[in-house]
Structure 1
Amino acid sequence: MEPSNNAMNIHINDFDGPLELLLHLIKQSQMDIYDIEIEKITNQYVEYLNKMKELNVNVIGEYFVMASNLMVIKSKLLLPKKDDLADENDDYEDPRNELVNQLIVYQQYKEASKVLKKFKKRSSMHHSIPARLPTVSEILDFNGDKIMNVDLIKDAFDAIIKKNHHYHKPYVHEINEWHYTVKEQSNWIITKIENKDVIEFNSLFNENDNLEKIITTFLSILELMKEHFIVVEQIDNKIYIRKK
């Protein structure tokens, strides 16, 4: 059998053990795992280990144990069956069976390992913290601007958050890019005000809004107030936003 060039381009460190190396060679040779061409795969395996030795690579003992097992299986297959003259119904145990079972179990283990790694990667993108939302003072520094009614904005913020159904659930935030920006929400608010001159504060929020949208919208309101584009005022226990 001619050497497989692909087999020579792989390194022993690429594999977790002899079973994984065998699976690689079986897949590379496009063999049926349930009908392994034991002579061909043994030659490839031994050739691979010999190549590693020539390159002065330290190959651990378990790889040579597997090579020995492959040779034993190969020799058993070369021996004539004891019951050649017996009935065809007589049981015959294929010497490859144990190896095939090991490979199948190992393959299932590897697939399960891949799934667990995906879950681990996905879970690393989340973190749980005690439910805590930023205060208005934390969101934006007013720098002592007396024009803004800080208490009014703070009370409005608290009221909107308490109405939001997400407030009472554990806060789990997925780490990714936000879907809302202060600039976009500011333009959205300005458009609504230009159409009506005055809008009710609560009309900017919906009970099903996620925290990202709520906080971004509040930031936008605060920025617009700071830039003197809008005024927030209370009339008859309701809060309104109007153009400056």
Structure 2
Amino acid sequence: MEEESGTDKPALVTDQTESDLSAAADAEDQEEKEELSEFLVHWQGPEGDEEGPLSVLWKLIESYRVDIFEISIHRITEDFLSFMHAARDLRVSLASSFTVMAARLIYYKSKALLPDPGFEDTEEDSHLPPELIQQLLEYRRFQMASETLREMDDLSSGIFGRPDSAMPEPEEGEERMLEVSLVDLIQAYHKVLKRLEPEAEDDGYEITGEEWSVDLKMEEIRLLLQDAISFTFDDLFENIEQMKKGEVIAMFLAILELTRLSEIVLQQDKIFGQILIFKRAATIS
């Protein structure tokens, strides 16, 4: 009896140890998730509304510089999925409507790949389906109407640009600066990644360690804005050949976080132009 009792006790100790280790691992995972969620960004447009999948699709269409009826469903599907992957890299929180749109695009793409015996000419099938084109054109008409109303409101109030920004007002004859959209930022992210050395892309892009601290990158940007009213987006990646993917992501997260905190303003002088980073007047000490 004593031998049986002696053999049972180590088993109980082992079970308890495994339980403790499991609980500790769960606690560590939860702590890491909370740390990462600190920089989960809900991107908003100039009017405070979250940008939806239609705004992303329209921005992609503008970048193609071709007629909407000539756009390939294959190309826009791949670009939309790449956008979602990049957003995941940058921990940008996307609404569930993005997943729905991705599934819809994949369905259209798959349907276009299947031969239709009822039609001899299948080339047109690879273009955007009519119902999606109609939805996009309706979105664009609504967007243009909203822009017109904002311009009328600006004229009536005598306000041009953001009064709380340190961005200089445009001179007479100069074009007004444009807001930077989420797609602009994601496209810039892709361009920066293409400049990385191949071995730098496979570093696991761990940003929770001290080496790739988002807080430190935020301080870098703040220091740059102490000496200048603005600087270009590319200025942050002058030494890209010495950077790792984790550092690039940390810098992008810092930009997103400072934007969310209303410490900086992102502007462009033209569509698809250079991204400029301005500090807000409210942050000047």
TM-score in same-fold range (> 0.5): no
- Identify, as 1 or 2, the structure richer in helix: 2
- Which has more radius of gyration? 1
TM-score normalised by L of structure 1: 0.41
